[in-house]
Structure 1
Amino acid sequence: MDGHLTHTRTDWAHFQPGAGAGMTLMQAHFTAHAFERHSHPTYAVGLTHTGVQTFQCRGARHASQRGDVILFNPDEPHDGSRGTDAGFGYSMLYLEPAVLQAWRDGAAGTRVAAYFRQPLAHDPQAAQALHQALAAAAQPQERLRAEALASAALIGLLQRYGEHTGDVSDCLDAGRDRMEQARDYIATYFAEDLTVERLAQQVGLSRVHLSRAFAKRFGVPPHVYLNAVRLRQAQTALLAGQPLAQVALAAGFADQSHFNRRFKGSFGLSPGAWLAQMGPGSRPWDTYIL
């Protein structure tokens, strides 16, 4: 974490850069601390994880409970404090206006409002999408995935809770050559912490257009394809006898724990268990034992 602020044993806040330029992630828990009335020059979109967070915004008092989504527009005044003695824990994603503006792209089919019409939403589906984006933002070597999930979550929130009805439709055809170029670039630089911006620059598209056009062409977004390439490289290295920790880093994962999570998420078992079944000396029926 790049920042660490402590007030008491139960009050803490961590800040770190987000998936790309203009994005910052905050994770915090407060019991004693109360925010004075303030505003941010950025969008601030958050998710309450525990407890109750109360705040004054737009002339009304709001209470954000577990699973609720907080939606602050740039320069929108608000405060914040605990709603119960237990305090509250939450995550917040701060986005420069230019980031969100880039995600509102007619060519990409994301014609949504520029501002939120309300500061709080109880929406389990939107909360789950935002939770996945926030979790990815906190994971090293996942910037491609983190921005893709963040843009999808924010576009969905603006579509539902924007100042006017949003329209998310198919993107314009970006051409087969561009998409194959992006796919080949991922296959070449899979070990690096690729970003949507880097891929988009390679093919001359906006970031959100690249992501949506890639998914339309290949059936999965770029970050899912990247994960598949990394796992394929890792399987080859494991079968060649390379150590697990070395395989994890060479394939582009942050560490062995990160590698284990993504491997099990795709194959249903750990890399070590897979190797025991597929490596030299394994029995044919072992591959069916989880």
Structure 2
Amino acid sequence: MIGNAISLKLPYDQRMSSALRIAQGKFGRVALLDMDRPLVRHAHPHCHVLLKVEGADTQFSVRDDLVPLTYDSAVLVNAWEPHAYAHDARRPPTIILALYIEPRWLAEFRPNWTASGRPGFFAQAAGAITPRIRVLADDMARAMVAEPGNRSLHETLLSALMVSVIERFTPWRETAVSLRDLARGPSIDRRIRTVAAQIKSDPGAVRQIDDLISGSGVSRAQFFRLFETSFGVSPRVYLNAARLERAVQAVSDSEANLSAISESLGFSVPAHFSRFFHDHAGSSPSGFRAVTRMPV
């Protein structure tokens, strides 16, 4: 269990999920989340690993299955794999270490780990962790609390943790990314690729999915079929993922006020943006901003 020197039970004003700490870098981001409410069904463009640090055992919905998150097991979510936090209101909160990892950073360890950005990198949605993963996860959580601005330390600990996770849960020696593999993979319709690029470049400009459909030149039914075949998620989930990543970047790195960020992302009312952010990231945008700007 967590050592006695540092308690992760930090005070909070009301019963709602919050970010205790956020670590960011070229690796992506790591969030230490105090969770006591569900998250909506969503997806990320990264591989996503969830580890319990403290509190009640809990569970996630990954695609259509409920999988446990305990002190001895991890939840493993592939890039663009729909998932949701299925909190049980009868249970106490859970502190979760949530890893959102960039494929390009993983490729610095082994080139074929760029496959982490594609479906199927993790063969299963949950699995028993090793004692080493347990120790590394606890060390990472304690370091984020004790030294919130120490990016070098965070990246060192995260490197060891992710190597252990991948070696435990993926057939990484057989995972290859070659031109032959890519050529054999499903191709993305040119019209759908154009729509996806439009969403990524300016998600706030997309007011209605119907606007994307009308500009694509395909029927509504064909649009949804082609999009889900290409990316594994619906256009709405893809749009929300793009909005969230843009929101996280703006909240963390810019000086813009939250109302301006809300408007730039297409939310007519700031409260709608705050609810969207909380339902997808597990924290209010103001709370998220506060913990990303803690001093070294």
Q: TM class by shorter-chain length?
A: 0.3 to 0.5
TM-score (norm 2): 0.46
Say which structure, 1 or 2, has more relative contact order (CA 8 Å, 6+ apart).
2
TM-score (norm 1): 0.47
Q: Give the number of the structure whose alpha-carbon radius of gyration is greater.
A: 1
